[in-house]
Amino acid sequence: MNVSGAKEFAVGIALRAGNILMKDFRSLAPDQIRFKDKRELVTKTDIRVNQFIISKIKQAYPDHGILSEEEGLVEDNKKSGYMWVVDPLDGTTNFVMRHTFFTTTLALLKDGEPIMGVIYAPYTRELFVAEKGKGARRNEMKMNVSNENKLDKSFLCFAYSHEKKSLQRAVSAYQHFEFKARSMRHFGSSSLELAFVASGRVDGMIITPPVRIWDVAAGMLMVQESGGKVSDFHGNNKRIAFNGLVVSNGKVHNQILKVIKQKRI
């Protein structure tokens, strides 16, 4: 398996998906939007981009598994061990509101571990790419996490799923970290926020469980390849989707975990 080749393939697909997103971003009609559930939106653009990406993966890598937000498990990966994880439009609510924080994100997993990730923010034309063991880049420039080592001077962000308990825990996290850190924000696109941690724009991020793998797989790898740290709320770097997600520059990681434990977030 040529991972670098898969990376170039993913970059090409993400850029083309971004073109579709930008075309619809300026002309999305109300009848193209519906609710998946009480809080979560989906548009015809999500579906169209999802179908486009999946069709290209099937053509190029017919023996790979595919897991997408919009369709779930599309193809199994029992034989190859490779799984593509796709979110065609991360930040759908932002997209519908004509807010610019949205992405297309793809990751390739080998036996459950991310080995390649691509996050493309088409409005700002920022392309974030990572390959395991080979670092991470933003628009061809090497990314590094920030150097801040004090929580009270850190800029943090947070995300949550649409489940009530996840939102309640996120509100609790905001309540405590808004005072413990310099500031805390919610941008509405987990993949982009993870890319911000990897690129040093944000010092740390907290995602309350359950964590959806298609939102975080690419970004987790980017943070690690940029010198940062990834764990669950207990400090474990395994089974992250079950116990929340903390990503940081590594220097404030334990300080974040300490607050989570003390405040029982």
With a CB cutoff of 8 Å and minimum separation 6, the contacts of 18 are 104, 120, 121, 122
Greatest CA separation for the chain: 50
**Distances in whole angstroms, Cα of residue 45 to Cα of each of 64, 86, 264:** 25, 14, 39
Q: Is 46 exposed, middle or buried (0-12, 13-18, 19+ CB in 10 A)?
A: buried
Helix, strand or coil, per DSSP, at residue 5: helix
| pLDDT tens column, 227-259 | 999 999 999 987 666 789 999 999 999 999 999
**223 vs 243: CA distance, rounded Å:** 18
Q: Does the pLDDT of residue 31 top 80, yes or no?
A: no
**34 vs 22: CA distance, rounded Å:** 19
Pick the CATH number of 3-142 from 3.40.47.10, 3.40.50.150, 3.30.540.10, 3.30.830.10: 3.30.540.10
Q: CATH for 151-262?
A: 3.40.190.80
Indicate the pTM of the whole model: 0.94
Chain centroid to Cα 263, Å, comes to: 26
Q: Does the pLDDT of residue 60 top 90, yes or no?
A: yes
Token pair 């309540």 is at which residue?
Answer: 175
β-pairing verdict for 245-248 and 204-207: antiparallel
Q: Does the pLDDT of residue 34 top 80, yes or no?
A: no
Q: Where in the chain is the domain with CATH 3.40.190.80?
A: 151-262
Q: How many Å is the Cα radius of gyration of the chain?
A: 17
| pLDDT tens column, 159-216 | 998 889 999 999 999 999 999 999 999 999 999 999 999 999 999 999 999 999 999 9
